[in-house]
Amino acid sequence: MNTPNSTALGTSAISVRGVSKRFGDTEVLHDIDLEIPHGQVTCLIGPSGSGKSTLLRCMAFLEEATTGTILVNGEPLGFAPGTGAGPRVRLPEARIREVRSQIGMCFQQFNLWPHMTALGNVSEALKTVRGMKKADAEQRALAQLQKVGLEARAGHYPSQLSGGQQQRVAIARALALDPKIMLFDEPTSSLDPELTGEVLNVMRALAADGMTMVVVSHEIGFAASVGQRIAFLDHGRILLNATPQEVFGKPRHPRLDQFLDTYLDRGAAMLV
């Protein structure tokens, strides 16, 4: 069950190399190595506090790894790759933004801006960041909303949308900028089961389109059916990183078994 590394180094969509993250005295991530292959869905699963969300946030550069290097399509994210000698060098902000622009992020809390309509949320970065004209930006935003089935809600404010609709707008907002990689941080954790389905369907369609995705999720069923790679984290380490068949099939890693039992207890596991 060691980490397979079929893709050559440097060609992965995201390469996480020797990343540790410390908050004060607590080490949340311990020397993580992870390759995110192009065009595949990688699911990060694990118990609360295992560090999966922190790892994802490091990939989005919302958290700065304490040590280690993250490459996005071979380009360093945030810091120049360390030579091991001397303090690491932070890249210029413009360069950081450029590398980050390949990444789209969706949050557990959606994080739509409440003072803008759905259309405003999706078109905002097209206008301010890409410098598109208002009409062009809105046309593109509307097309994105259409993809998530919400063109009829374009004029609604977030407070007028259900949680599932808000998350779909948030996905459209990220997709509008044409990211190469989409990161999802527990995208359905604050939704009730009925609304979870509509968000997962959008994500399934995205996966079917060949989008490179990294998904932190408690939806084991989704991970097992859509995920092509499963990484199981526990106490800041990757215990397993393999295909769903390998991870969920027998014989199973005892720690994973224990973790999955908590799902079986709630009758929520629908494994492969």
Does 243 bind other proteins (CB under 8 A)? Our answer is no
For other proteins, the binding residue among 32, 173, 220, 229 (CB under 8 A) is 173
Phi, psi (deg, nearest 5) at residue 106:
-125, 140
Tokens representing 246 are 């390998």
Total residues contacting other proteins by CB under 8 A comes to 32
Angstrom distance (rounded) from CA 237 to CA 181: 23
Alpha-carbon Rg for the chain, nearest whole angstrom, is 19
Q: Which stretch binds other proteins (CB under 8 A): 15-23, 47-55, 151-159, 228-236?
A: 151-159
Residue 271 CB, nearest approach to other proteins (Å)? 32
Does 229 bind other proteins (CB under 8 A)? Our answer is no
Give the strands of the sheet with 212-216, arranged side by side: 103-106, 181-185, 212-216, 41-45, 229-234, 237-242
Cα separation of the two ends of the chain: 19
Q: Which stretch binds other proteins (CB under 8 A): 156-164, 194-202, 208-216, 220-228?
A: 156-164
For other proteins, the binding residue among 128, 146, 243, 262 (CB under 8 A) is 128
In the bound state with other proteins, the residue whose beta carbon lies nearer, of 57 and 260, is 57
Phi, psi (deg, nearest 5) at residue 31:
45, 60
For other proteins, the binding residue among 1, 67, 157, 201 (CB under 8 A) is 157
Exposure class string for 197-206: b at 16+ Cβ within 10 A, else e: ebbbebbeeb
Exposure class string for 57-69: b at 16+ Cβ within 10 A, else e: bbbbbebebeebb
Residue 128 CB, nearest approach to other proteins (Å)? 5
Residue 38 CB, nearest approach to other proteins (Å)? 20
Q: Which residues bind other proteins (CB under 8 A)?
A: 60, 62, 93, 97, 100-101, 103-105, 107, 109-115, 124-125, 128-129, 157-159, 161, 163, 166, 170, 173-174, 177, 190
